[in-house]
Chains A and B, each alone.
Chain A
Amino acid sequence: MRPAKKETVNGRAFPSTGGVAGKPAGRQAERPGSRDVLEFLIIGGCFVALAPLLRAHRVTDFMIFCIFTLSFDLLYGYMGRLSFGHLLFLGAGAYGAGLFLRHVTSNPLLAILLGMSVACLLAMIVGLVTVRATGACFALINLAFNQTGWFLVMSPLRKVTGGQDGFGVEAARLGWIDFGDAAFRFWFVLVILLLMFFLLKRLMRSPYGILVRSIKEDETRVRFLGYNTYLYKWITFVISASVAGLSGALTALNYGYVNPNTMDVHKNVGAVFACLIGGAGHLYGALVGGVVYMIISNFLPVYIRRWEMFLGAALLVVVFRFRRGIWGSLEPCLSRAAAGGRLRTPPDKGALVK
């Protein structure tokens, strides 16, 4: 569960230890382009290849869930804060975008931005309280906020939000931007997913990202180094919530309706499972886990009626036997292959964080 890019991180912080495979440290900074483009092609290619196999509209779903998983991974995988109420921000994004489309203007792009900012604002306020907590307390206090949000949507704001039934959303057509068209939605979400992936990867490679990971390892020590960990945790929380809000806004546009199911507390287990099975603390892991979870939850119920039992059993196996997840297990092999076998595996690789 250690961060994958540790050697690069160390390489940058202490150039004397050398970079990847003997190349000078800070290689990434010199040539940012080529490797990112390759990654983009691979990730985008995977989703495009999935589209004819599983129907495009379903893959759009997968990608929206992957955006959500990325945001959850930022919080859980990188900062080590398990939240049981992250769907609140997805719901905030969905309702923000949906209500904006319904009552103000039917410009879809503005609606997405607004959905994001609603989630961001909400996280700024909620984060002030929740970020102080750790461990079980953090998970539970988020859960409490999620429940409160769900309740607000269901009861006092029923006239606005439509209560249990939710409401329909229609986006206007702006030239070639047409959210009524499934193919456009697919490509649009794909571009957004790649963009988010790129931004978050950049962010996690930056000194800020290193600090966030250090907070996961030992917060007290980071604080003693003179950093204001509260501020950094708050910023991470807000960023994560905004990305979740983005995926919520996309959900609203994709389905054409918003209902309280988007923020059902029980669905949060999906994000946890996706993060763990993919490998928490890797952005690729979040993508792999998101797709795996969506495949399981979309196709297993068709063949097995008791699929939740299977999901629970799979979670147990992951927790007890397979904590590194799919990407966490693949990654050492891949990076060794990429370095032509010259890369020495760091001794702490795969050590379990307790």
Chain B
Amino acid sequence: MIYTLMYGLTIGAILYFISVGLSLTFGTMRVTNFAHTITYTIGVYLLIALVQQAKVSYLWAAVLSVLAVVPLGYLIERFIIRRLYGESLDYTFIATFAVSLIGVDVVKWMWGVQPKALGDPIRKYVDLVGFPFPVYRLLIVIIAILLFLALQILMKRTMVGKIILAALEDRERVRCLGIKLDKYFSFAFILGSALAALGGVLYAPLTSVHPYMGTTILLLCFAVVIVGGMGNLKGTFLAAFALGMVIAVTARYWPPGAETMVFVVMAIVLMLRPIDV
């Protein structure tokens, strides 16, 4: 049981890293961003290249690959997302999906389609109420909680965060105050992309890495964002862990249904409270 709990928390933490960016992008810019997978997947592949080919230590490789993804996020924001402000959601959907299509193909081109694996970088176990549990998974959960607190501080205490938070509520009114929102939107987008890459980098050692990994997890993350409420950061945090637990519990009793249960939850939430966009 404690395994299921911890497994759920780990999955929830990973989902949280990736969903935050989606939630921010949607809340501020009203763009449903399928291209989010790209930073995630490319971050993971950079990490693998650094660790396995350049023999960089895992920690430095992780930092480097997250940093390397930042300019990519900027480029996507500058040339694709910025041109989609105020467009109907169909077009943003299709355009960002096209970007993700290109990105997946680039990954296939550079690194091939074979799944890769990366071992647990810590390989230590900690005693949890009598069960040995991998430290690495525990670390991921702790980082996720720290990230949540850091984001709360960023949003509530700094000017940048306050403006983004205000834009989540009412963009037009913030614009009327004479604040140039584009800059803050770019910041939110790039932050989200970097966090997605961070999630990928942390998750990579626990799973097999292949070019389509982003698409699979992105669908789950859309479910998280919908269940938590688009643009609602606290809701996203809670929803990520709740859905992580759903996955873990289903995986324990009925393994093949694990990911589908998330969609069932999402469908129920959408039925009860449709998004009005």
Which A residues lie at the B interface, using CB under 8 A?
76, 80, 82, 84, 129, 132-137, 139-141, 143-145, 147-148, 151, 154-156, 266, 269, 272, 276, 305-306, 308-309, 311-313, 315-316, 319-320, 323, 353-354
Contact = CB atoms under 8 A, between A and B. Distances in A.
A139 B95 contact: no
Contacts of B93: 82, 84, 136, 139
Nearest to B32: A136
Nearest to B90: A82
B107 to A, nearest CB: 11
Given A151-B257, A312-B102, A315-B101, A137 B95 contact: no
B76 to A, nearest CB: 12
Nearest to B212: A266
Interface string B83-107: 1001111110111011111101110
Interface of B: 32, 80, 83, 86-91, 93-95, 97-102, 104-106, 108-109, 215, 219, 222-223, 226, 256-257, 259-260, 263-264, 266-267, 270-271, 274-277
Contact of A306 (B83, B94, B105, B271): B105
A289 B106 CA distance: 26
7 contacts: A133-B274, A136-B89, A140-B270, A147-B260, A151-B259, A276-B94, A312-B101
A78 B105 CA distance: 32
Mostly helix, strand, loop or mixed at chain B's interface?
helix
A144 B267 contact: yes
Contacts of A80: 90
B95 A320 contact: yes
Given A129-B271, A309-B105, A135 B277 contact: yes
A315 B267 contact: no
A147 B266 CA distance: 12
Given A140-B226, A276-B94, A319-B94, A129 B99 contact: no
A258 B88 CA distance: 36
A132 B98 CA distance: 27
A144 B266 contact: yes
A269 to B, nearest CB: 6
Contacts of B263: 143-145, 147-148
Given A312-B100, A315-B101, 6 more contacts: A135-B90, A147-B263, A151-B259, A155-B256, A311-B98, A319-B98
B97 A315 contact: yes
Contacts of A76: 90
B267 A129 contact: yes
Contacts of B264: 144, 148
A306 B219 contact: no
B267 to A, nearest CB: 5
